[in-house]
């Protein structure tokens, strides 16, 4: 690949497609270090969807993510001179842990750049896996800014960049996930009908697609992106990779503004077998909580993308489906936000700007005549101002059922109290609720 004057990586006019044989060789090379992860049948999701659902547990890797596969294989292919010069990587967190692990295992000095939104849990794990072989640099507001800093550093020092998704060796290493899935299903006498793959930069999707195109050409592949960072769909719509104006960084492992060039070419060449969908961040949160509460799986947001996408597709009854749980590096401090987003997505959490007439008994009227028996106040911020006829309050309500909303709105409309329902993704909602 080459870099143009704006710093954007551009793909070569031709590229060498990844074949199943490349992935099989990679599997043989990394198998002494990276053990296969379990493929687990999921009774709950199977019953809910009417298909046989298996979860590929990449969250059980030593670094809790599939990213170790591509990182380790790419670094293992470096010659002695490249190893001596050191390596540089940019990552939202998971690729960085794979690189750090490889650096310490192979005795190679590395420098890793991560954006400021990378959860502290991931930063801490990078240091644990890399030890004194890795320097961690926190810079930029998103992955793309961290990646630009990493490339500049590598160019200045003559180090080698280990790409998280947009490099052939990385794609080959990540494709070993598909090789394991087919082998594990064969062992239990099953064949793969559909696989759900989380998509950020699309390196995993490219690797899985490349292997299945050769070894299981009838298998359908579903790439699942977060709605707030749907860079693959944007590229397919434009006919080439494009840079998104902005991304929602919540699904940090997949919050990529521009899809990888090489992964894009792989997807483009296999559009007949690939379906690309996007899912809301709130739906991802709901599935994260379901995985934790029912299967005991601690999935990070990107790790739950595949299961979230499962709910969006009509699949043939009884078909064999695999969802790749791509990572489990989730900071426990994020669970309050995860629960909040899930409640909003499910229609259970709502916010209102309530203007109370400055008269006695108005709060009692709101509590007894407007709220329903199962409505719970979770937030109440009230400021009574002198010489005003009304006093505004920001009120957060958690409903017992989503269907309770319409009757609540009817009671609000009939009341003298003016209540404004704040809608997610509007400026006033973000200002009042998120600050």
| Domain boundaries of the chain, sorted by first residue | 18-67+170-340, 68-164, 347-434
pLDDT of residue 351: 96
Interatomic CA distance for residues 100 and 134, integer angstroms = 6
pLDDT of residue 12: 45
pLDDT of residue 399: 97
Domain 68-164's class? Answer: alpha beta
The answer to whether the CB of 302 falls within 8 A of the CB of 252 is: yes
Give me 405's structure tokens.
Answer: 């909303």
Could you say which architecture CATH assigns to the domain 18-67+170-340?
3-Layer(aba) Sandwich (3.40)
Whether 326 sits among the annotated catalytic residues: the reply is yes
- Taking only the tens of pLDDT, the chain with its 435 residues reads 433 333 334 444 457 899 999 999 999 999 999 999 999 999 999 999 999 999 999 999 999 999 999 999 999 999 999 999 999 999 878 999 999 999 999 999 999 999 998 888 889 999 999 999 999 999 998 888 899 999 999 999 999 999 999 999 999 999 999 999 999 999 999 999 999 999 999 999 999 999 999 999 999 999 999 999 999 999 999 999 999 999 998 998 899 999 999 999 999 999 999 999 999 999 999 999 999 999 999 999 999 999 999 999 999 999 999 999 999 998 888 899 999 999 999 999 999 999 988 888 898 999 999 999 999 999 999 865 655 666 789 999 999 999 999 999 999 999 989 999 999 888 888 877 775
Interatomic CA distance for residues 412 and 323, integer angstroms = 43
Strand 194-198 and strand 320-325: pairing? parallel
Interatomic CA distance for residues 164 and 394, integer angstroms = 43
Spatial neighbors of 275 by CB under 8 A, at least 6 apart, are: 220, 221, 222, 223, 313
Spatial neighbors of 103 by CB under 8 A, at least 6 apart, are: 75, 87, 109, 110, 130, 133, 134
At the topology level, CATH places domain 347-434 in Alpha-Beta Plaits (3.30.70)
| Nearest Cα residue to 58 out of 32, 97, 20 | 97
- Identical fold at 18-67+170-340 and 347-434? no
Q: What angle do CA 159, 163, 164 make, to 5 degrees?
A: 140
pLDDT of residue 386: 54
Give me 328's structure tokens.
Answer: 């489990």
pLDDT of residue 3: 38
Q: What is the dihedral of CA 128, 285, 204, 183, to 10 degrees?
A: 90
Whether 67 sits among the annotated catalytic residues: the reply is yes
- The gap between the terminal CA atoms of the chain, to the nearest Å, is 42
pLDDT of residue 1: 40
pLDDT of residue 4: 37
Q: Which of 67, 210, 342, 349 is catalytic?
A: 67
Q: Which of 65, 91, 249, 326 is catalytic?
A: 326
Interatomic CA distance for residues 124 and 88, integer angstroms = 18
């Amino acid at each position: 690949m080459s870099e143009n004057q704006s710093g954007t990586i551009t793909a070569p006019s031709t590229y060498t497609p990844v074949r199943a044989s490349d992935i099989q060789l990679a599997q043989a090379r990394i198998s002494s270090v990276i053990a296969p992860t379990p493929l687990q049948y999921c009774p709950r999701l199977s019953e809910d969807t009417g298909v046989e659902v298996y979860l590929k547990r990449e969250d059980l890797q030593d670094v809790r993510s599939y990213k170790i596969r591509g990182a380790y294989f790419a670094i293992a292919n470096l010659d002695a001179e490249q190893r001596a010069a050191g390596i540089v990587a940019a990552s939202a967190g998971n690729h960085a842990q794979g690189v750090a692990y490889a650096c310490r295992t192979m005795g190679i000095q590395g420098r890793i750049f991560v954006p400021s939104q990378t959860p502290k849990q991931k930063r801490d794990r990078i240091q644990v896996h890399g030890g004194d072989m890795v320097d961690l640099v926190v810079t930029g507001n998103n992955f793309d800014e961290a990646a630009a800093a990493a490339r500049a550093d590598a160019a200045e020092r003559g180090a080698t960049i280990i790409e998280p998704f947009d490099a052939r060796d990385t794609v080959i290493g990540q494709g070993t996930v598909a090789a394991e899935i087919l082998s594990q299903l064969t062992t239990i006498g099953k064949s793969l009908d559909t696989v759900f793959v989380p998509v950020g930069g699309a390196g995993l999707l490219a690797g899985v697609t490349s292997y299945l195109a050769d070894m299981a050409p009838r298998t359908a592949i579903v790439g699942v992106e977060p709605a707030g960072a749907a860079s693959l769909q944007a590229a397919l719509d434009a006919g080439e990779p494009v840079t998104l104006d902005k991304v929602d960084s919540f699904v940090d492992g997949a919050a990529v503004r521009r899809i990888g060039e090489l992964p894009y070419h792989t997807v483009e060449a296999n559009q007949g077998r690939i379906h690309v969908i996007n899912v809301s961040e709130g739906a991802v949160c709901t599935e994260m909580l379901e995985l934790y509460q029912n299967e005991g799986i601690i999935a990070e947001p990107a790790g739950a993308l595949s299961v979230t996408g499962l709910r969006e597709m009509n699949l043939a009854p009884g078909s064999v489906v695999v969802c790749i749980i791509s990572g489990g590096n989730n900071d426990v401090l994020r669970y309050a936000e995860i629960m909040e987003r899930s409640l909003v997505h499910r229609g259970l959490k709502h916010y209102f700007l309530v203007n109370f007439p400055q008269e006695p008994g108005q709060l009692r009227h709101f509590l007894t005549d407007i709220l329903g028996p199962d409505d719970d106040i979770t937030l109440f911020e009230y400021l009574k101002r002198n010489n005003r006829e009304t006093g505004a309050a920001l009120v957060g309500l958690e409903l017992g059922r989503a269907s309770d909303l319409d009757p609540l709105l009817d009671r609000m409309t009939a009341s003298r109290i003016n209540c404004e329902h704040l809608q997610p993704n509007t400026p006033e909602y973000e200002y009042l609720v998120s600050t």
